[in-house]
Amino acid sequence: MSSEKSLTADEILPTDRYNWVVQDCPVCEKPPTKLIGKRGGAAHRSGAGVTSSIWLCKDCGMVFPNPMPVPIDGLGQHYDIDADDYFQHHDQGAKFSNVQVLLDQAGDLVGAKGRLLDIGSGRGELLKSARDSGWECVGIEPSSTFAEYATRISGATIYREPVESCNFPESSFDVVILAAVLEHLYDPNGTIKAISRILRKGGALFIDVPNEQGLYFRVGNLYQKFNGRDWVVNLAPTFPPFHLFGFGKKSLCRLLKKHGLEPTKLRFYGGQSNLQSGASARGSIEVLASRLVSAVSNMGSLGTYIETWAIKQ
């Protein structure tokens, strides 16, 4: 949870269409304890975004900017762009295949096809597949452009406000999907608390987030230090894909258990690097190295991503 506090003159950053709010760890609810580097603007290989200070909570391992850059014009400042442009690195055909696997897992966990909530519906692939498979579906997508696309594709009812504001009845969902969303939210603690309230006992929540303790981020940060920079490769607070909070196994599991959700079936995987090649030979080498690290991190618990199902206790 963020807290409004006064910053010293040295801590005040240029506005650049952001309000800068002092940020506490959403899991431990206290200030972070270690500055790990800068991200964005002058601290980015392409100069993307505005420079943020990235901190670590030593208690749970959560990584986040402090102060937090909150867009002055609301979420539309980040997300009111064409859905196909934002998801340009996402294979829509592969997405339909992947969500069917997810829906099969959901049915096995809760015993039958019931009521499903998809938070962060994006282009609506999961909602369409779920409705076609016999689930009763509702979506949440705050981006107006994404929501219009998802409604057209899926035909499902899609709310355009946070789950905390939707006033769903208590215990009204069998399954909640939060895939590649939690890292984008300004109040992940409040969101998980709200999900726990509307999920029935024995219901299942799916979460998929980047693993900021993974090999990709560790090697990337060491590379920046090797080059004498105070940069990090964690998060993207002011440029696409706008990742605000960085989870690891410890911080994710603590947040879920804090709200009566028991993690199960944790899986780590490497995924694919979307780092784009620069004009220089050095840039090309960086891209090749990032792809190699992503491939290697498919092994063990240092993968670039974490996914888990959590059961409401």
Q: What integer pLDDT is reported at residue 308 of this predicted model?
A: 98
pLDDT at 10: 40
Note the Cα 131 to chain centre separation in Å: 24
In tens digits, the chain (313 residues) has pLDDT values of: 444 343 443 444 445 899 999 999 999 999 999 999 999 999 998 999 999 999 999 999 999 999 999 999 988 888 877 666 666 555 555 566 788 999 999 999 999 999 999 999 988 999 999 999 999 999 999 888 889 999 999 999 999 999 999 999 999 999 999 999 999 999 999 999 999 999 999 999 999 999 999 988 999 999 999 999 999 999 999 999 999 999 999 999 999 999 999 999 899 998 665 555 555 666 666 666 666 666 666 667 788 999 999 999 9
Distances (CA, A) of 257 to 110, 178, 219, 267: 19, 16, 30, 17
Q: What is the pLDDT of residue 275?
A: 59
Cα–Cα distance between 108 and 132 in angstroms, integer? 17
Residue 301: predicted pLDDT: 79
29 class by beta-carbon count within 10 Å (0-12 exposed, 13-18 middle, 19+ buried):
exposed
DSSP state of 165: G
State the amino acid at position 40 in one-letter form: G
Q: What pLDDT does residue 294 have?
A: 66
What pLDDT score was predicted for residue 13?
A: 44
Tokens representing residue 256 in the block = 């879920």
109 and 204 in contact (C-beta within 8 Å)?
A: yes
Helix (H) or strand (E) holding 210: strand 199-210
